[in-house]
Structure 1
Amino acid sequence: MTRVPRQDWIRRFVPRPAARLRLVCFPHAGGAASAFHGWAELLPEWIELVAVQYPGRQDRYGEPIPAGIPELAEEILRGAEDITGFDRPTAFFGHSMGALVAFEVARRLQWRTSSPPAALFVSACKAPPARTPRGLTFEENEIRDYLRHLGGSGAALLENDELWEFAFPVICGDLRMAEAYRYAPGAPLTCPVVSIAGDRDPAVTPDDAALWKDCTTGEADARVLRGGHFYFEESLSGLVEILTEGLTRLVPH
């Protein structure tokens, strides 16, 4: 496969070349790197936030969506060299489907390089070994109902036919990847893993999220914040506090 230039994969909203640590963020199904716009300014100066831009959306609209999450993880590793953390400690944050993508990228880094992620933060996502298919048929009305069930401000596009026509192929493609994902048993991660769940999430309970502890031999922590599947829309300050607290332990002071 032709290698994709890394600038096609990574977005920097507030460049911080002198930052001591990098936080790489992976969007949810149907989401884009812009979902993390504004988060960087809430983090301390010593953390540089970057976000992964998946194919098929925004400025990458029209590019094919990969066949599955493992394939997407492989493409990210080939195209985004500077998430590997050779120049500074690098941690991952993934929300919903993005947590699975972050996990699969982290696994591959651990297998193949001497620079695995320093920590993994997983948000609103069941642990890979505990996942079961939702049984989606991917009919348009079913996907609309599913997104309404999850809630969040992004569900507003359901009421705008023009936006929905534009977004549906991307959302459907991402949900197909998530639905088809099957955990492949292998060596656990060795880095700390922090799982975060909303206390009113209709799709992922705090107990579901806590099972991420089985995916690492490192420290594991499970946190709960107020809100639904997109809890950070009302508890972003709490999430930033969790991220900052966890990342503080990774850098010398």
Structure 2
Amino acid sequence: MSSAAHLTGLWLRSFHPSPKATARLVCLPHAGGSASYFFPVSKALSPDVEVLAVQYPGRQDRRGEPCLESVDELADHVARDLGALTDRPLALFGHSMGASVAFEVARRLAGTDVPLLGLIASGRSAPSSTWGADVHLRDDAGILRELRELSGTDARLFDDEELLRMILPAVRGDYTAVARYRCAPGVRIACPVSVLVGDADPQVPPAQAERWRDHTDGAFDLRVFPGGHFYLNERADEVTAAIADRVARWSAAAARTV
């Protein structure tokens, strides 16, 4: 089934439909993030790779829906929609919370007809690492302070009280999902895992990023970029090139096994 035929639901967005692309990249946003965050990635990779961006409930055109405060629930919905996309191989890319959701999506796609090439996890500790932050329990000022410290939100947003009121429920809901998420140390996926992190990320020490190796039976690699938690904003061209390289390598390897 083609993406054009399937993208009638709420969860997947295609900004640059690429019917001749040989592979898809499914992008899952960070806490408080939305599908539009990946518009530049979609533009850069099109038409060679068709990018699908996940839209969680509670933001943008889904702002009227309640947030899902569970990584597992988010993964259930995404995997359900991806289950119909069997015509082309796909890779998963998730940043921060999105990496945890992507890992759970990969688990759910195992044994299905979806040809999964690999997982790119960005700005996130390994699934079995406990993330004990209490951000979701803070008042609004505390959550805004966290967003400022991570430097991933447009600074102009903090001066717009109306917009802040619109996004805070989604941010709080996402941080609740992150805080509740647990994964056993022995849980592994079969596909390759590539991890991208910033060298000054306060949330992802290199040792925690390296532990993603313990969650795959496939190949593993780790690349460290200059920058903090949102290193990919400052290194957009380099990160996009790294993503394209991994998708191309995984696609070539999959083609050799056919």
Taking structure 2 as the reference length, what is the TM-score of the superposition? 0.89
Match of 2:120 in 1: 121
Unaligned runs of 5+ in 2: 1-6
1:197 and 1:158 map into 2 onto residues whose CA distance is 26
Distance, in Å, in 2 between the alignment partners of 1:107 and 1:95 is 17
The equivalences for 1:83-102 within 5 A come to 85-102=85-102
Between stretches 55-64 and 137-146, larger displacement belongs to 137-146
Deviation digits for residues 58-92 of structure 1, max 9, x if unmatched?
A: 1111111123110111122234444xx51111000
CA distance in 2, matches of 1:222, 1:37: 25
Partner AA of 1:248 in structure 2: A
Deviation per CA, 1:104-140: give whole Å up to 9, x if none.
1111111x41435210000000101112311332321
Aligned amino acid, residue 245 of structure 1: D
**2:179: which partner in 1?**
179
Q: Which residue of 2 aligns with 1:189?
A: 189
Matched, 1:243 2:225: no
Give SS of 2:114's match.
coil
Which residue of structure 1 aligns with residue 146 of structure 2? 146
- Alignment check: 8 A CA contact 2:89 2:115 kept: no
> What is the alpha-carbon distance in structure 2 between the residues aligned to residue 115 and residue 152 of structure 1?
32
Partner of 2:167: 167
Identity of matched residues, %: 42
Segments of structure 1 that go 5 or more residues without pairing to the other structure are none
After the TM superposition, list the runs of 4 or more consecutive aligned residues in structure 1 that deviate by more than 3 angstroms: 79-82, 153-156, 184-187
Equivalents in 1 of 2:143, 2:46: separation in Å? 38
Say if 1:205 and 1:30 are closer, same or farther in 2 by CA, change over 3 A.
same
1:45 is aligned to 2:47: yes
- TM-score, normalisation: structure 1: 0.91
In structure 1, distance between residues paired with 2:160 and 2:224: 32
User: Which position in structure 2 is the counterpart of 1:9?
Assistant: 11
Q: Residues 187, 228 of structure 1: CA spacing in aligned structure 2 closer, same or farther, 3 A cutoff?
A: closer
In the alignment, which residue of structure 1 is the partner of 2:3? Answer: none
Query: Which stretch of the first structure deviates more once superposed, 92-101 or 136-145?
Result: 136-145
Alpha-carbon displacement from aligned partner over 1:165-224 (angstroms, at most 9, x marks no partner): 111111111111111111145541111100000112122123322211111010000001
CA distance in 2, matches of 1:194, 1:217: 12
Provide the C-alpha distance between the structure 1 equivalents of 2:14 and 2:139, rounded to a whole number of angstroms. Answer: 35
Equivalent-residue separation in structure 1 for 2:45 and 2:245 (angstroms) = 11
Q: For the Cα contact (< 8 Å) 1:143–1:172, is it kept in 2?
A: yes
Distance 1:242 1:248, change over 3 A: same
**Equivalent pairs, count:** 247
CA distance in 2, matches of 1:184, 1:116: 25
